[in-house]
Amino acid sequence: MQFGAVLPHNEIGTDPGAIRAYAQGVEALGATHLLIYDHVLGADPNRPGGWRGAYDKDVAFHEPLTTFAFIAAVTERLDLMSTVMILPQRQTALVAKQAAQVAILSNNRFRLGIGTGWNRIEYEALGVPFGNRGRRQEEQVDLLRKLWSEDSLTYSGTYHQVSAASINPRPSRNIPVWFGGSAPAVLERCARLGDGWIPLMGANDAARACIDTLRTERARVGKSMAGFGIQAQAQYRGGNPERWRTHAEAWRELGATHIALATHNAGATGVDGHLRRLAQYLDAVG
């Protein structure tokens, strides 16, 4: 199982030097990968009718693809993964172009983690329907892979039309696509189309049931679990070395291939503090 980190999105700040120091520090500690969360907009809690959600306009999220392009330039080995990009609210051809560029600049160190999201306000502002996002996501993955691999294609889908065109430059190989979520339709889609799964839950019976579903669905379509990844997450907050070890071993027993530590929401600190937290975790589980 590989150990990584989650970018402390709301606490890392906007100083490019700090972001560079953090990414290089994560790599120097021996972590293998870095995750970045994705949200385009945050709602104003004073909006008419109020707002209840996991975040609002005062919670900062660095845009994954542009941030990864920067981090790719200042690191050498660190794998990069969006966790998760809300794919259906974005234009598919543009995501194909931008993700290809990150893969090229990072020498194929990028994994595209995708989800369908829950925040209607983002979809509204981006001019995309919320209701058919799952079906649209499935077609998006099909089109992304064709754009990454074909010199010219004509594509006529339910939601997309491409007429004898493609992107250039293209990555030297297809970018791995991992699905986040645990709804039955998501698990079926992930098993059939995905290169890995991103559980948004703990190492518990629910996760075991999801993994059993993935295994069953992959077998149904003639695919094994060999080479299929599972990207778990851990929290620094509320943990200690024994709890971290127990948690990591529980995920390992379930079949996780990767686990990344989130160091934010554990008290104010700077780059050095986030790196100290990661070092403590890696010492405990290593």
Q: Which letter does DSSP use for residue 103 in this model?
A: H
Q: Is there a contact between 272 and 15 (Cβ–Cβ < 8 Å)?
A: no
Quick one: CATH architecture of 2-285? Alpha-Beta Barrel (3.20)
Q: pLDDT tier at 238 (50, 70, 90 boundaries)? A: very high
CA separation for the pair 112, 95 (Å, rounded):
10
Q: pLDDT tier at 122 (50, 70, 90 boundaries)? A: very high
Kindly list the domain boundaries of the chain, sorted by start residue: 2-285
DSSP state string for 32-69: -EEEE---S----TTSTT---SS--TTS----HHHHHH
Q: Is there a contact between 214 and 254 (Cβ–Cβ < 8 Å)?
A: no
Strand partners, 179: 114, 197
Backbone phi and psi for residue 186, each to the nearest 5 degrees, phi listed first: -65, -45
- Nearest Cα to Cα of residue 52 among 118, 105, 96: 118
User: Helix, strand, or coil here: 105?
Assistant: helix
Work out the angle between the directed axes of helices 133-149 and 92-105 (0-180°, nearest 10).
Answer: 50
38's CB contacts (< 8 A; 6+ apart) are 61, 63, 64, 82, 83, 84, 85, 86
Q: pLDDT tens for residues 251-267?
A: 999 999 999 999 999 99
Q: pLDDT tier at 210 (50, 70, 90 boundaries)? A: very high
Q: How many residues are given for the chain?
A: 286
For strand 161-165 and strand 153-156, is the pairing parallel, antiparallel, or unpaired? antiparallel
Joined together, the tokens standing for residue 147 give: 């754009």
CA separation for the pair 235, 19 (Å, rounded):
20
CA separation for the pair 264, 261 (Å, rounded):
9
User: Helix, strand, or coil here: 86?
Assistant: strand
pTM of the predicted structure, to 2 decimals: 0.97
Q: pLDDT tens for residues 136-166?
A: 999 999 999 999 999 999 999 999 999 999 9
User: Helix, strand, or coil here: 8?
Assistant: coil
Distance of CA 28 to the CA centre of its chain: 22
Strand partners, 24: none
Q: Is there a contact between 38 and 86 (Cβ–Cβ < 8 Å)?
A: yes
Residue 98: which H helix or E strand, with range? helix 92-105
- Nearest Cα to Cα of residue 81 among 46, 47, 108, 54: 108
Q: pLDDT tens for residues 34-52?
A: 999 999 999 999 999 898 8
Q: Is there a contact between 99 and 144 (Cβ–Cβ < 8 Å)?
A: yes
Cβ neighbour number for residue 159 with a 10 Å cutoff: 16
Q: pLDDT tier at 286 (50, 70, 90 boundaries)? A: confident
